[in-house]
Amino acid sequence: MRGLCCDVADRGGPIENFFPDREVAADLLTRYYTDYEPESTFVAVSGGRLIGYINGCMDNRRYGLVMFWLLGPALLVKAFKHGLFFRCEIHQLLRSVLKNWRRIFVWRKKSFHSHQGHLHIGVAAGFRGQQVGRDLVDALVAHAARKGATELAASVHDANKAAGDFFQKLGFTALERYPMVLIRNSKEEHYHSLLYVKTI
Ligand SMILES: CC(C)(COP(=O)(O)OP(=O)(O)OC[C@H]1O[C@@H](n2cnc3c(N)ncnc32)[C@H](O)[C@@H]1OP(=O)(O)O)[C@@H](O)C(=O)NCCC(=O)NCCS
């Protein structure tokens, strides 16, 4: 699952498009879900191979606290040991975070301050369009209902039309829209982050 998360992290393309270290990226993208809330993760398997995953969190505030106090510091140490702070891609990412932090942590009404849930989903390239994503969302929504969660949200890059159409087909609505900046190859890329929300 860590590998597939990295394979699809850039709107369906590989994480290496903007982040140079797979292991640190996989920790950042998956460790909360695998280590602190594994019951909210579902995977799809075909012929013994993992072809899809959905990582769920039923409480965004808990996610924020675990990331900030527990996983974040450990990740910083690991990134330092891997020499990432000497990489220009990381300098660009840190500059992006500085430009975006208010948008992510303050303006976003349904982010880390709320007790709602969120999800990340990925299906391997050769297995898309075969209802794998739909089955994964159905499994997570049923789980969320059992847990008493009332909302699930997914953040989508506005250029990721496939994901936007997918979430709309599955009954999600784009409720929030924020301007964001990603700096890569020394250029600023401006885009919007859409928050698709489904009421359970
Ligand atoms: C988005 C993603 C998870 C969809 O998974 P999938 O298994 O291909 O989707 P499904 O086959 O289950 O499709 C479910 C519905 O969404 C629609 N849909 C899926 N992909 C679509 C696309 N590219 N364009 C338009 N509609 C699409 C399908 O038409 C289908 O509706 P239907 O049942 O009425 O035919 C997959 O494309 C993916 O992994 N993308 C890369 C990672 C990503 O962008 N994740 C989302 C950000 S969190």
Instruction: Tell me the domains of the chain and their CATH numbers.
Output: 2-199 (3.40.630.30)
**Residue 29 CA, distance from chain mean position:** 6
User: Residue 182: beta bridge partners?
Assistant: 189
In this prediction, residue 186 carries a pLDDT of: 83
**Mean pLDDT value across residues 21-38:** 97
Cβ pair 190, 178 in contact under 8 A? no
Assigned token pair, 19: 């982040």
Is residue 130 exposed (0-12), middle (13-18) or buried (19+ Cβ within 10 Å)? middle
The secondary element (H helix, E strand) that includes residue 1 is none
**Residue 48 CA, distance from chain mean position:** 25
Q: Identify the residue whose C-alpha is closest to ligand 1 atom 24.
A: 162
Residue appearing with tokens 């008493």: 148
pLDDT digits (tens, 9 = 90+) for 134-184: 999 999 999 999 999 999 999 999 999 999 999 999 999 999 888 888 888
Of 39, 53, 48, 30, give the one whose Cα is nearest residue 135.
53
The best mutation among 128, 130, 160, 167 to test binding of ligand 1, ranked by most ligand atoms within 8 Å of the C-beta, falls on: 128
